[in-house]
Homo-oligomer: A and B are copies of this chain.
Amino acid sequence: MAEQAAGQEFDILILGGGSGGYAAALRAIQLGKTVGLVEKSKLGGTCLHNGCIPTKALLHAAEVADHAREGAKVGVNVELKSIDMVAVNAYKDGIVAGKYKGLQGLIKGKGITVIEGEGKLTAANTITVNGVNYTGKNIILATGSYSRSLPGLEIGGKVITSDQALTMDYLPKSVIVLGGGVIGVEFASVWKSFGVDVTIIEGMASLVPNEDAAIIKVLERTFRKRGIKFNTGTFFQGVEQSADGVKATLVDGKTFEAELMLVAVGRGPSTAGLGYEEAGVTMDRGFVITNDRLHTGVGNIYAVGDIVPGIQLAHRGFQQGIFVAEEIAGLNPVVVEDINVPKVTYCDPEIASVGLNEKQAKEKFGDENVESTEYNLAGNGKSAILGTGGIIKFVREKNGPVVGVHMIGSRVGEQIGEAQLIVNWEAYPEDVASLIHAHPTQNEALGEAAMALAGRPLHG
């Protein structure tokens, strides 16, 4: 092997400039460390360029379309003429470009050294980029994830992933969405709002199978009402492409036809060929295995974000990045367990949850030691005004704190802040019930749920 040119040395050298990597970089610089950040594509990673941000722009355009469609109901005479996907994309790309510019300015302004190019871990303290060896007293692996497919299912032509779906400049007549998880239901929701005929295929027993059973019920009922079709409980077998579109077959022989198929079966870790295993890092099906303080067990190598097994969310990446920077600086930060990370799914109706669902709580505390309450948004004035149904569900340990909050309904994603404080601070329903919430908000539904669980519902 040829000699490599010697590059800079840093206190912290980070491989990957997505949510996890750049948050680590920003926190490390604040703590007075020198930081090198290796990025082969664009700072901001999946979340900014192909994930959170562009999808939420589409979802807002979808909301505007739905408002137009339902305007007459509230006395606003509106005609929805068309969805102009070129303009939708221009709007979406404008949002991404604005955030990207801001992030670049921030990263550079703080004095973080950005090293452009594809990096590879070549020793426990070395990352090689374009033939140059950069060293770090500490290394953070943050190479993120990519859209997975199923064995034998090839992406291409009319079989696409979210990456292609985000750049499409036309609307198909019909789509099969393979996978009823977060990404699948979000795209299904957008397309339906844009007038596309949508069918979701999910092998598990229900859509969003990780959510609380009560939430799943409402989502499925509402999707049905919206005309979003779905087939759950039977696994996918294969797909054929023809000039007209795609034909998907399930293991039970059932078939579905559409113009396109979106594969949304999860995200795999981007770790292949990056030298992790060679450096002695423990891997499991491509994921990097760490201890609960995100250390890999090799040298001073840490890992954060989607390559660490657990829920793949941008803010979990932020949190892990900050955590590792503080850990390296000796601040001994507190571990936040995945279960207490807030989760939002931005389809309509939105889903938001934090903490244990009822089933998980019963497994942990025993059936007889768990209490829960469901407040129906039918009783909530602001939700009636918005025309949304849904529920707010609180789960508590009997005579103990609230251990989970689960919500569904238009816009309830924004309620996750209060829910998260309640669960993370181990508040009792009584603590929340004693504070009256503002009227008329959707937020007051949380107050009603807390009052009900504390044994004194106001409107119930």
Contacts and interface: CB of A to CB of B under 8 A. Distances in A.
Interface centre among A26, A382, A441 (most CB of B within 10 A): A441
Given A30-B456, A53-B440, A65 B60 contact: no
B88 A76 contact: yes
B74 A88 contact: yes
A457 to B, nearest CB: 8
A148 interface: no
Contact of A446 (B71, B384, B417, B438): B417
Contact of A435 (B64, B84, B421): B421
A91 B334 CA distance: 50
B416 A421 contact: no
Contacts of A318: 436, 439, 458
A410 B44 CA distance: 26
Contacts of A82: 77
B414 A99 contact: no
Contact of A79 (B79, B336, B413): B79
A418 B441 CA distance: 13
Interface in A40-59: 47, 52-53, 56-57
Given A57-B385, A342-B437, A414-B414, A83 B79 contact: no
Interface string A244-266: 00000000000000000000000
A314 interface: yes
A135 to B, nearest CB: 27
A90 B403 CA distance: 42
Contacts of A446: 417
A67 to B, nearest CB: 5
B75 A83 contact: yes
Interface centre among A84, A381, A415 (most CB of B within 10 A): A381
A61 B83 contact: no
Interface in A5-57: 19, 23, 26-27, 30, 47, 52-53, 56-57
Nearest to A326: B456
A298 interface: no
Nearest to A436: B319
A434 to B, nearest CB: 6
Contact of A68 (B76, B87, B439, B444): B76
B57 A65 contact: no
Given A81-B79, A443-B414, A459-B106, A386 B73 contact: no
Contacts of A228: none
A155 B82 CA distance: 47
A434 B334 contact: yes
Contacts of A103: 459
Given A64-B76, A418-B421, A422-B421, A439 B95 contact: no
A68 B99 CA distance: 25
A201 interface: no
A166 interface: no
A439 B60 contact: no
Interface in A327-345: 333-334, 336, 341-344
Given A75-B87, A76-B61, A416 B438 contact: yes
A81 B80 CA distance: 11
A293 interface: no
A170 interface: no
A98 interface: yes
Contacts of A64: 67, 70-71, 74, 76, 78
Given A78-B80, A411-B411, 17 more contacts: A47-B439, A56-B381, A56-B385, A57-B74, A64-B70, A75-B86, A76-B80, A77-B80, A95-B381, A99-B381, A99-B384, A106-B460, A313-B438, A313-B439, A315-B439, A316-B436, A414-B442
Which 3 A/B pairs are nearest by Cβ-Cβ distance?
A75-B88, A417-B418, A75-B87
